[in-house]
Amino acid sequence: MSQSTATRLTVSLLLLSQIIRLHAAEVRDVRMWRAPDHTRLVFDLSAAVDYTLFSLDNPDRLVIDIDTSATSQRFNGLDFTSSPIRAIRSGERDDDTLRIVLDLETAVDPSSFTLAPNSEFGNRLVVDLYDKEPRPNAAVTAGTGNRSAPQSDGRREIVVAISAGHGGEDPGSIGYDGRLKEKNITLAISRALFNRLQSMPGYKPVMIREGDYYVELKRRPEIARRSRADLFVAIHADWYRNSRARGVTVYALSGDRADRENSARVSQKENSSDLLGGVGGDLAIGNFDDDVALTLVSLQMAWSMEQSLVAGTRILESLDGITRIRKDKVQQASLQVLNSPDIPSILVETGYLTNPEEAQRLNTRGFQQRMAAAIAQGVMNYFYETPPEGTLVAWQKANGITPGTYTVKRGDNLSEIAERFGLSLAQLKASNSLQSDTIQVGQVLSLPGAAPIPASEHTISRGETLSEIAQLYRISVPELRAANKLSNDRIMVGQILKIPSL
């Protein structure tokens, strides 16, 4: 090689290294999610970066400086509706810094962090813009209200907080096909569970997240607490390194995690707003000495863990027959989302997305409905055993009323019964196929929302009719005929009927 050629090669390598140094990373894309109380921006990067973030006012702006980076993005394809962002612009500064400026409609509380690559995405920079004040026409954060208003007779509803796992930037487990995402499955089952419980007299469900956005793990029990929840149910789907694993598992908090959480609460109690007895009253631990506070928190957590195990057991019992039970006892694990000392909390792993057969079932509306109905039934069985004082369910139990039904007593009339259970007269009549308001003492009325758990098949017993079976599963006789290719209403004992998915 000649000296001139070597010189040119050296210069070329120096120039190349300078270019690489100047643009060590590239911002390849940006994605955005709007949550009820914040907006999340995710910048997809070609490599890990160093960055700084600061706010400016008059007008309100947020500035992100990313060291030795560049981008070809124009950031003009995002929908900023309902977000605090008016526009995003960028430019490279003389010191090889990429500056991204968010022009804001109003000031925000920013938070940011970087994420390492995972199976779906590479390096990322995540910027959360928390609203300082509720935005006009913005969705209200799920679960931020007080305990549900008492019914007309003064009996309150039982509040169940439902937490759909993952969301937004966090897809959770990825299915066997590389496309199915846990965050979508958990949201679908959570919505079905919400609808099921909402239709039951005496229950008020609240959603921790209602759409495709992420809620921090530590905030999920906080939202449940603000709602005065009586129970916290987290819905997830599982993953394993091979496709054979299958079945549902229910978790509660482990004792080791509880001990760590209790100690942390006491050590931070001077600056903490943590409460004890959240479902029955507010008790600030900051008013007590450390030893007393630790004792109180530990006692409350022990009660919460005990009740979590009972609730989880009832849910497992209800799920048996709907799907395979992987572990027949409630498992205990160190899970942050279950760490409330004042709210019994469970996590349901509904199945394995890495198992093709199970994943396909979990992705169907009919199975999601059956799964949600079974979980709801387990929740109702738990609360009927030990109903919270002052609730409609406690009154039902004291008066010998089976949840979902009411036995007519002397002096009752249909409109008073409907009002008592928070129903309209039309709902009650439709649920019981009543053509008039006439009822009889001893008659058992079905309350809307108390349908049995949907099944995929029904084996005919002696004395059953097609119309009775259709009413049992809340479907029409023509739908039942069509699903089973029946030309008339004739059925035989032992015959298996297919039940259409809800």
Write the CATH number for 257. Answer: 3.40.630.40
CB 127 within 8 A of CB 110: yes
Residue type at 165?
A: G
Confidence of residue 298 (pLDDT cuts 50, 70, 90): low
CATH number of the domain residue 426 falls in: 3.10.350
Q: Is the pLDDT of residue 29 over 70?
A: yes
Question: Is residue 289 domain-resident?
Answer: yes
| 407 exposure class (CB count in 10 Å sphere: 0-12, 13-18, 19+) | middle
Question: Is residue 72 domain-resident?
Answer: yes
Residue type at 313?
A: T
Report pLDDT digits (tens) over 52-80: 999 999 999 999 999 999 998 888 788 89
Report pLDDT digits (tens) over 410-465: 888 998 888 777 677 887 888 788 888 999 887 888 776 555 555 567 777 777 78
Q: What is the mean pLDDT of residues 359-383?
A: 91
Residues 357, 402: one domain?
no
Residue 58 lies in domain: 21-131
Residues 345, 215: one domain?
yes
User: How far is 101 from 126, CA to CA, in rounded Å?
Assistant: 15
Percentage of residues of the chain with pLDDT beyond 90: 38
What b/e readout covers 465-485, taking b as 16+ CB neighbours within 10 angstroms? ebeebbbebebebeebbeebe
Q: What is the pLDDT of residue 101?
A: 95
Residues 345, 220: one domain?
yes
Q: What is the pLDDT of residue 265?
A: 40
For residue 59, whether the previous peptide bond is cis, meaning omega lies within 30 degrees of 0, is yes
Q: What is the pLDDT of residue 300?
A: 65
Question: Is residue 449 domain-resident?
Answer: no
User: How far is 112 from 40, CA to CA, in rounded Å?
Assistant: 9
Q: What is the mean pLDDT of residues 105-126?
A: 88
- Count the domains in the chain: 4
Residues 419, 352: one domain?
no
Q: What is the pLDDT of residue 302?
A: 78
User: How far is 210 from 35, CA to CA, in rounded Å?
Assistant: 9
CB 168 within 8 A of CB 33: yes
Q: What is the mean pLDDT of the chain?
A: 80
The number of beta carbons lying within 10 Å of the beta carbon of residue 286 is 13
Q: Give the residue from 82, 122, 80 showing the smallest Cα distance to 102.
A: 80
Residues 53, 180: one domain?
no
Residues 209, 347: one domain?
yes
Q: What is the pLDDT of residue 453?
A: 54
Q: What is the pLDDT of residue 192?
A: 93
Q: What is the pLDDT of residue 441?
A: 85
Question: Is residue 150 domain-resident?
Answer: no
pTM of the model: 0.70
Q: What is the mean pLDDT of residues 172-182?
A: 92
Q: What is the pLDDT of residue 142?
A: 44
Residues 99, 165: one domain?
no
Q: What is the pLDDT of residue 272?
A: 39
